[in-house]
Amino acid sequence: MGNTQPTPPSGELRATGTLDIKDSRTDKTYSVQILQGGPEGDTATRAMDLRQIKTSPDEFGMMTYDPAFMNTASCKSAITFIDGDKGILRYRGYPIEQLAEKSTFLEVAWLLRNGELPAQPEYDKWVHDITYHTYVHENIKTFLQGFRYDAHPMSMMCSAVAALSSFYPEAKNIHDPASRDISIIRLLAKMPTLAAFCYRHSKGLPFIYPDNDLSYTENFLSMVARMSEPKYEANPIFVKALEILFILHADHEQNCSTSAVRAIGSSQVDPFSAIAGGVAALYGPLHGGANEQVLRMIAEIGDPKNVPKFIDEVKGGKGSKLMGFGHRVYKSYDPRAKIVKKLADEVFKVVGVDKDLEIALKLEEAALNDEYFVSRKLYPNVDFYTGLIYRSMAFPTDFFTVLFAVARTSGWLAQWEEMLNDKEQKIARPRQIYVGYGERPFASKLTDRFPKAK
C-alpha cells in the first residue's frame, strides 16, 4: 500500500469559540473570536478585535502590550511547526530527524518554499538552475576586497547581499512570480559563493570560482578550500555533516532574523535587501552569533576542571550567559541539538576527540543537573555543538554564523514569499504605549545655538 498522503492543510484560521472580556471601567462585556490554526491547536484572538474596548468613543481603543513579541503571533504560517515543550520540529509536516537523515539541503529548500517534496524532474531543474547561478558579478570581488583582512565575515556578508540587489534591479518586481523565482534561485545559489569569497578574502587567498560538476555542499567546500589542485576532493564525512547542518539550520518559524526579513519585506523592497536584514539580525550573539560565542566561551574556560567555577559564575550573574543554552521556544532539548551532538560524535571519531569537546560535554552534564538551569528550562540549543563541528572542519570561529546564514537563506526566502502571498499581511508597523511627557512649550537653555567647534 502506497504511503497515504494527508489532506493538504487549508492554511486558514478557523473560529473555534469566543472569549468574553469584561471591562471593569465600564462594566461592558465584549465577545471576541478565538481563532485556531492547524490540528496542533495554536489559538489566538485578533488584536484588532480589542480596539472596540474603550471608555469613550473618541479613545483610540485597546491594544495588546507584548515586548519582544513573547506571546504575539505576527502571522499565520504553514512552513515550520515547533512544539517547544515536546521538542518537536517539522518542516511542512516532515520531522526534522527524518529530513536530516534522508533529505538534501536543496530538497529541503524546495520543500520549505513549495510546501511539497519535489518530483525528480522538478528537483533536477531546481538543482540545475541553482548550480548555474552560483557566479557573482566580478565587481563583487572588488567590493569584498575593500574590506580589511580582519573584517568580520558576517559584516561582509550582510553588505555583500545588500550590494547584490544593485546588480538585479528587476528583483524589485516582487509581485511577479517569475521575478521571485529567479531572485530565490540567485540568492540560494550565490550565498555559498559570497560566503566562500569572504573566507578567502580573510585568508588572503585567491577567490575560487564555482565548480558546476560538484553538488551544492561540495561546491561550497571547494570554493572555501581548493588550492592548486585542479579538482577539489571534499572529505565525504564533512560533506555529509555540512548537508545535515544546512538542513537543521534551514528554517525555524518566526525567529528574530526571519521576523526581520518579513518586516523588511513587508515594505515591498527587493528580496536581496530583505535577506541582508536577516543576515544582520542573525549576526547577534543571542541569535545566530551564539555558535561563535560558544567556542569563545569554551576557549575562556580552557580546561574541563574549570567548568564548575564557570557554571557558578553564570549562576551568579557574573560573566556571560551559558552560550548555546536556552531558547525562547524550546523548553526541552532542542531536537536539532540532539542530531548535532550525534553528528559531532561521528565527526570526532574521524578527527579525534579534543579538550574543547570534553569541556562542552562537561558543561552540558553540569547544566542539565543544576537547579538553576533546570528550573529555567535551559537546555542545549542548536548552537551548542555546531561550532565544534565547524571548527573540526577548520572553519574559523567568526565564520560559523556565516554558515548559519547560508542555510537559513532557504527559510528566510520561503517565509518572505509566504508573507507576500498572505492577503492579510501589509507593511509591518507595530504600535506603542506612549509613556512620555504631555504637551509642553519649547524653552531652549542655549545662549549660543551655533557654537564654533574649538
Q: Which residues are catalytic?
A: 287, 327, 383
**Segment near ligand SDX (CB under 6 A), from 14-22, 268-276, 320-328, 439-447?**
320-328
β strands within 68-178, DSSP E: 80-83, 88-91, 94-95
According to CB under 6 A, which one of 22, 102, 128, 376 is a site residue for ligand SDX? Answer: 376
How many other C-beta atoms can be found within 10 angstroms of the C-beta atom of residue 115? 17
**Segment near ligand SDX (CB under 6 A), from 178-186, 226-234, 272-280, 381-389?**
381-389
Tell whether residue 140 is a contact of ligand SDX (CB under 6 A).
no
**Segment near ligand SDX (CB under 6 A), from 145-153, 158-166, 326-334, 420-428?**
326-334
For the residues of 41-94, what is the DSSP string, one character each? --EE--GGGGTT--SSTTS-------GGGTT------SSEEEETTTTEEEETTE
Nearer to ligand SDX, 105 or 325 (CB): 325
Angle formed by the axes of helices 105-114 and 177-203, to 10°? 150
Tell whether residue 383 is a contact of ligand SDX (CB under 6 A).
yes
Under DSSP, the state recorded for 319 is: S
Do the Cβ atoms of 45 and 33 come closer than 8 Å? yes
- Among residues 394, 294, 330, 269, the alpha carbon closest in space to that of 89 is found at 330
Tell whether residue 331 is a contact of ligand SDX (CB under 6 A).
no
Nearer to ligand SDX, 194 or 290 (CB): 290
Nearer to ligand SDX, 172 or 287 (CB): 287
Tell whether residue 277 is a contact of ligand SDX (CB under 6 A).
no
Tell whether residue 326 is a contact of ligand SDX (CB under 6 A).
yes
Within 8 A by CB and 6+ apart from 51, the residues are: 60, 61, 62, 63
Nearer to ligand SDX, 199 or 385 (CB): 385
According to CB under 6 A, which one of 286, 350, 353, 374 is a site residue for ligand SDX? Answer: 286
Do the Cβ atoms of 129 and 185 come closer than 8 Å? yes
Find cell 504560517 and name the residue. Answer: 77
According to CB under 6 A, which one of 90, 186, 327, 341 is a site residue for ligand SDX? Answer: 327
Q: Residue 139: enclosing H or E segment and its boundaries?
A: helix 138-145
List residues binding ligand SDX (CB under 6 A): 252, 255-256, 286-288, 290, 314, 321-329, 376, 378, 381-383
